[in-house]
């Protein structure tokens, strides 16, 4: 744990690790990849990146990292999951593999690959009140959506999908933040700054 800039880890078993590390450095965190227990012990907060949630859950088992990460989240370490990372933070996951595991950090049901084949990937400008009035460019890549939420979950953003309905795509519950989209692949660093603020508040 650090004096000065908080240290934020990015789970580096699979997925878009480098992009998160770069955005975290840009907003003023010390950013480090996390693959093993000793590295996890040294961080004030953790990002679960986009990638493939079932592959990541398998690798968490192979590296004996599921329990340590679960314990840190349980004890209040701030955690941010984007896309596959959102799936890992859910309490219920639909359309996943029978052997997949996740952390149940946010009281929500998510559906994997929810936006359908024709629109596997799309972009949208969303106003996210928590980030200010300027719309946020959001990139969705085979993204999940949030299908149901518990009463303690705050909705930060929703998007209108091709089914004509609005679907929840950004949420927060206490120390856990999750987005269906990938802020790490755009130049807008406000989501990472918001997460850094969560980490600062938890360490102050």
Identity of the residue, 7 or 46, whose beta carbon is nearer to ligand GLN in the bound complex: 46
Q: What DSSP designation does 55 have?
A: H
- 71: annotated active-site residue: no
- Contact call for residue 83 and ligand GLN (CB under 6 A): yes
Q: What DSSP designation does 164 have?
A: S
* Contacts of residue 188, Cβ cutoff 8 Å, sequence gap at least 6: 136, 137
Contact assessment for residue 66 and residue 60, using Cβ atoms and an 8 Å cutoff: yes
Identity of the residue, 72 or 182, whose beta carbon is nearer to ligand GLN in the bound complex: 182
Residue 142 CB, shortest distance to ligand GLN, in Å, is 4
Site string (90-129) toward ligand GLN, x via CB under 6 A = ----------------------xx----------------
Instruction: Report the sign of the C-alpha dihedral through residues 91, 159, 119, 60, in that order.
Output: negative
Which of 82, 115, 71 is closest to 15 using CA atoms? 82
- Rounded Cα–Cα distance for residues 72 and 145 (Å): 25
- Contact call for residue 142 and ligand GLN (CB under 6 A): yes
Which of 19, 20, 23, 83 is the catalytic position? Answer: 83
- 184: annotated active-site residue: yes
What residues from 36 to 55 belong to the interface with ligand GLN (CB under 6 A)?
50-53
- Rounded Cα–Cα distance for residues 107 and 158 (Å): 17
Identity of the residue, 87 or 171, whose beta carbon is nearer to ligand GLN in the bound complex: 87
Positions touching ligand GLN (CB under 6 A) are 50-53, 83-84, 87, 112-113, 141-142
């Amino acid at each position: 744990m650090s004096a000065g800039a908080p240290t934020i880890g990015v789970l580096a078993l699979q997925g878009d690790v480098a992009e998160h590390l770069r955005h975290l450095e840009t907003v003023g965190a010390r950013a480090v990849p996390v693959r093993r227990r000793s590295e996890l012990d040294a961080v004030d907060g953790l990002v679960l990146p986009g990638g493939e949630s079932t592959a990541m859950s398998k690798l968490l088992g192979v590296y004996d990292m599921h329990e340590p990460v679960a314990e840190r989240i349980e004890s209040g370490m701030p955690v941010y999951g984007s896309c596959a990372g959102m799936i890992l933070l859910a309490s219920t996951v639909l359309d996943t593999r029978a052997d997949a595991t996740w952390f149940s950090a946010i009281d929500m049901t998510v559906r994997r690959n929810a936006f359908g084949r024709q629109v596997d990937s799309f972009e949208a400008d969303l106003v996210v009140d928590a980030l200010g009035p300027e719309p946020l460019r959001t990139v969705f890549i085979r993204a999940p959506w949030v299908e149901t939420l518990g009463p303690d979950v705050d909705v930060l953003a929703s998007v209108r999908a091709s089914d004509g309905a609005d679907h929840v795509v950004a949420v927060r519950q206490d120390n856990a933040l999750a987005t269906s989209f990938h802020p790490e692949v755009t130049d807008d660093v406000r989501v990472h700054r918001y997460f850094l603020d969560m980490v600062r508040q938890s360490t102050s």
